[in-house]
Amino acid sequence: MELVREITVEEALNKGYRFIDTRTPEEFEEFHIPGAYNVPLFSAEERKKVSQVYYEKGEKEARLYALEIVGPKLHKIVRQIKEIKDREGKVVVYCWRGGMRSLAVAAICTLAGVSVPRLEGGYRAFRKYILNRMAEVLKDKKLIVLYGPTGSGKTRIIRALKEKGYPVIDLEGLAGHRGSVFGGIGLDQPSQKMFDALLWQEVERLKDAPCILIEGESRKIGRLFIPEPFWKAMERGEKIYVELPLEERVKISMEDYGVDRFPSTVYLEALSRIRKILGDEKFREIEGLIREKRYTEAVSELMINYYDKLYARSTPDSVKPYRVANLEEAISTVEYYLSSVCG
C-alpha cells in the first residue's frame, strides 16, 4: 500500500477538495489555485540553498540538507494542515509539478495521522486542465461582446449589469488594467498564470448561463494575454456597440482613470509611449496641457487624436452602433439587448 495517495485535478475539483500549496510564499503570491491555502515547506532562501547543494553535491546531500532545514518545522506544518483539514473537510496538497515538496508534506502528515493526498502533476497539471476546461465550456457558449470608444463606460456597464444578476465577466477587473496606454496607472496586474486561473474560475461559475457579457478587448490587456480558448470565443461572439457624446466620455475617463490623483509625471511617462503615433506637434500640445494640469483638455485631445482613431481600426465593421445620451441610457440599452438575445 502506498504511503501517499494521489488524486487528479478533476477529482479534486469535482469532489470539493480545498487546495494547500506547499511552495514558498513568493511563488504562492505570483500564482496559485484560487482559494488555496499556503503552507510552505521552505522559504525562498531555504529553497535556494537546497538547490545550491543539489547542484554542487547531488540529490542525496540535498535531501539530507532539506531534512535538516524542515525538521524543526515539521510539527508546525502538520498542525497547520490539520487545522485546515478540520475546518474544510477534504484537502489536497500540491507544489509546482507534483514533486518532492508536496510528496514530503503529504508523507509527513500521513505518518503523523493526518492523512492527506497530493495533487497528481501539481500546479502544472491544474493549469493544463483549466485551459482545456475553458475551451470545453466555451465551445458552444454565446458571448456578447460590448464595444464602444474609450470613455463610453463599458466597464461601468459591465459591473452595473453584474450587480443586477446578469452573467458577466469583468476582464479588466481580473487583469488589473484598463486596457490602454494609461490603463495601468494606479493598478497592479497579476501574473499570466494567476489571470488565467481567475478567468477560468469565472467561466466555470457561468458554465450554465445562456450567455456571457464581456467587454471588447484586444488580445493583450496591459502585459497579459487573453487565453486562446477565451479569445476564440470572443471572436465568434455577438457584438454590441454603444457610444456616448465626447463630453460624457471625457468626464467618465477623468473619473475612471483617477486623473489629477497622481503626479503629472505619471501621465507624461505614459504619453511618451505614443509620441510617434501622435506626431511631435500634437504630442507637445498635449504634453503642455498635462504640465499645466489642464487635464480635461488633454483627455479630450487624446480622445480625438489617439483613442478614437485606434478604436475605429479595432472595432468590427459589422457592429451597429447605439448612440446614447448618457451612461444610464447605455446601461438600459445593453440590458435590453442582453435580455432579448440571451432570453
Residues identified as active-site: 95
Contact 161, 335 (CB under 8 A): yes
- State the sign of the Cα–Cα–Cα–Cα dihedral 63, 69, 71, 73: negative
3-state secondary structure 217-271: CCCEECCEECCHHHHHHHHCCEEEEEECCHHHHHHHHHHHCCCCCCCHHHHHHHH
Q: How far is CA 268 from CA 39, 138, 176, 286, 298, in A?
A: 43, 40, 21, 9, 11
Nearest to 40 by CA among 120, 119, 96: 96
Q: Which residue has the cell 509625471?
A: 265
Say which DSSP state 208 is in.
T
Q: How far is CA 154 from CA 58, 88, 158, 195, in A?
A: 56, 38, 6, 20
Q: How far is CA 330 from the centre of its chain?
A: 26
- DSSP letter string over 63-86? HHHHHHHHGGGHHHHHHHHHHHHH
Q: Which residue has the cell 460624457?
A: 248
Question: Helix H segments across 257-307?
Answer: 264-272, 275-278, 280-291, 295-302
